[in-house]
Amino acid sequence: MHLHILGICGTFMGGIALLARALGHTVTGSDANVYPPMSTQLAAAGIGLMEGYDASHLAPAPDLVVVGNAMKRGLPVIEYLLDRGLPYVSGPEWLKQHLLRDRWVLAVAGTHGKTTAASMLAWVLEDAGLKPGFLIGGVPRDFGISARLGAAPFFVVEADEYDTAFFDKRSKFVHYLPRTLILNNLEFDHADIFDDLAMIQRQFHHLVRIVPGSGLIIHPQGEAALDQVLAKGCWTPRESVGAGGDWSADLLAADGSRFAVRQGGKVVGEVRWALTGRHNVANALAVLAAARHAGVPLAQGLAALGRFQGVKRRLELRGEARGIRVYDDFAHHPTAIATTVEGLRRHTEAEARDMAGGRILAVLEPRSNTMRLGVHNASLADSLALADRVYVYAPADLGWDAAPVFAPLGERALVCTRVEDIVDRIAREARASDQVLIMSNGGFQGIHERLLAALAAADPGG
C-alpha cells in the first residue's frame, strides 16, 4: 500500500512514517519545512519527501493519505484531497488500526515529562530483553530514533492530549488502546485548543474510560487535577507514586542523581543514574510500576534506570567552551521551566560547591502557542526565580510586551528582540563554571551552536 503523509517532518508523523515503512508500505510525505534531523532519518528509511503542501503531491493518488494535525482547511493539498474524495485518516487512527490493536500498549500521558518517561520505559523494557516497539515525541539517546516497530507484544507510546486532526478534535491519546497507563500530572496548557482545565480533564477521562479492568493506571499521589479526573469514574486497578503513595523515593543526593525506592513503604532498592531533578525521580517511580506490570522484575528495572542515557533536548549538554556549559531543554511551560532550572541548580550545587562562578544563565524563547497567547505570563518570572541571569527572546511578533512580565526579576532579566544580541551578551558576560540553559520548543535559530562558537572566540579577559 502507498501511504502519503501530510506533515511528515513532525516528530509524531515522522514516527508514523517510519513505522509504516517497517510494516512494508511504500511511504512518501509532504511538509512545509523539510529539515534534519527528521528529514535525514526519513530519507535513510527510503521515504520520499516533498516540500510544501501542493495538490500535485497527491497525483498520482496514493492508496491512503495520513493527515497530521497541523493541516488546516484552505491548504491546496487538503482541498484537493476533499474534492477528489481520496481516502484519508489521522495519524493516531492509523496507528490504532494498523499497529496498536494487536499490542500491549504502555502509554504515558500528562502535561509534563511524557517524552522522558516514555523513553525511560522503552529503555527499561529493552534492557530486560523485551524488544518493545515505541513512538515517542523525542529521540531517546539509548535508541537514536523516535519510533521503532519492535517485537510483539509491547509497544510504548507518548500519549499526547493535543487534538487529532482538523476533522477529529478529540485528543490523540483516545486512539491508543492503553493497557498500562501512566498519568504524570495535569495542568492547563494548549490554550489554542482548550478553553480551560476542565476541557482537558474531560479528554483525560475519555482516556481513563478505555483502559481495561485487567490493566493498570499509575498516577501521582494527591494531585488534585488528576484526582478529579479519576473521581469521575475509574474501572481499572491503580497504583500511586510520590510521598504517601504505593511507590515513593528517598533522595540520597540533593540533585536526584541517587535515590532509594520504596514500595508499600519498604525500601526495595536504589538508583544511581545520570539524570537529575525531583521530576525525573517521579518519572522513574512511575516507570518502575509500569515495567513491573509488564513483567519486568523490580531489580531489573532498578538496574536498567542506572544505564538510562536520557533524551535529546531534555537538559542535553550541547557543548562546553572556556569552562562554560551550554544546555538545551524543551521546557515551554512555567512548571517545566521551574523544575528544569531547579534540577540544574541542585546539580550545579552538588558538582561545584567550592568553585567560583557556577551561575545559571537561563535563555527563554516563548515559542509555544500557549506562551504566545500570553496565558502563562503571570507565572513566567517566578518559574525563573532560581536562575542568576535571564535572557528572554521577544521578537516583534511575540504578541505581548515582555518587559513588564519579567520585571519582577529586576536587573537579572534582559529582554532582547534579536538572537544575535543574546549571543553577544552571554559571550561577554559568562565566566568559567557558568551553566547556560537554553529553553525552547523549536530550533531557536541555531542559538546553541552560535553561542558555543561565540564563547570559544571571545577573549576571556574582555
For the stretch 247-266, pLDDT in tens is 999 999 988 889 999 999 99
Question: Which is it for the CA torsion 366, 447, 309, 127, positive or negative?
Answer: positive
Q: Report the pLDDT averaged over residues 33-60.
A: 87
CATH architecture of 2-91: 3-Layer(aba) Sandwich (3.40)
* DSSP letter string, 192-204: TT-SSHHHHHHHH
Ramachandran region, residue 403 (left: φ > 0; alpha: ψ -120 to 50; beta: rest): alpha
Cell of 209: 474510560
The pLDDT-based confidence of 276 (bands split at 50, 70, 90) is: confident
pLDDT at position 189, please? 76
**At residue 352, does pLDDT exceed 70?**
no
pLDDT at position 462, please? 45
Spatial strand order of the sheet with 247-251 comes to 147-148, 133-135, 154-158, 104-109, 178-183, 216-220, 238-241, 247-251, 258-263, 266-272
User: CATH class for domain 99-305?
Assistant: alpha beta
Shared fold status for 2-91 and 99-305: no
> Between helices 224-231 and 197-209, what is the axis angle to 10°?
50
Domain 316-457 grouped into CATH 3.90.190.20: yes
Q: What whole-number distance in Å separates Cα of residue 23 and Cα of residue 427? A: 49
> Between helices 334-351 and 278-293, what is the axis angle to 10°?
100
In a 3-state reduction of DSSP, which class is residue 291? helix
Q: What whole-number distance in Å separates Cα of residue 148 and Cα of residue 138? A: 13
Q: Cis omega before residue 212 (within 30°)?
A: no
**At residue 6, does pLDDT exceed 90?**
yes
Helices (H), 173-297: 197-209, 224-231, 278-293
CA 265 to mean position of chain CA atoms: 30
Helices (H), 294-364: 298-305, 334-351
Q: Are 133 and 154 in contact (CB under 8 A)?
A: yes
The Cβ of residue 378 has, within 10 Å, a number of other Cβ atoms equal to 10
Distances (CA, A) of 179 to 29, 108, 160, 453: 31, 11, 16, 48
The pLDDT-based confidence of 354 (bands split at 50, 70, 90) is: very low
**At residue 178, does pLDDT exceed 90?**
yes
pLDDT at position 195, please? 81
Q: Report the pLDDT averaged over residues 43-52.
A: 90
Q: What whole-number distance in Å separates Cα of residue 195 and Cα of residue 173? A: 19
pLDDT at position 351, please? 61
pTM: 0.80
Q: Whole-number mean pLDDT of the chain?
A: 90
Single-letter code of the amino acid located at 414 = L
pLDDT at position 90, please? 97
**At residue 311, does pLDDT exceed 80?**
no
pLDDT at position 356, please? 47
What are 53-99's pLDDT values in tens digits?
Answer: 999 999 999 999 999 999 999 999 999 999 999 999 999 999 999 99
Q: Report the pLDDT averaged over residues 186-196.
A: 79
Q: Report the pLDDT averaged over residues 42-48.
A: 89
The domain spans of the chain are 2-91, 99-305, 316-457
What are 421-454's pLDDT values in tens digits?
Answer: 999 999 999 999 899 999 887 778 889 889 999 9
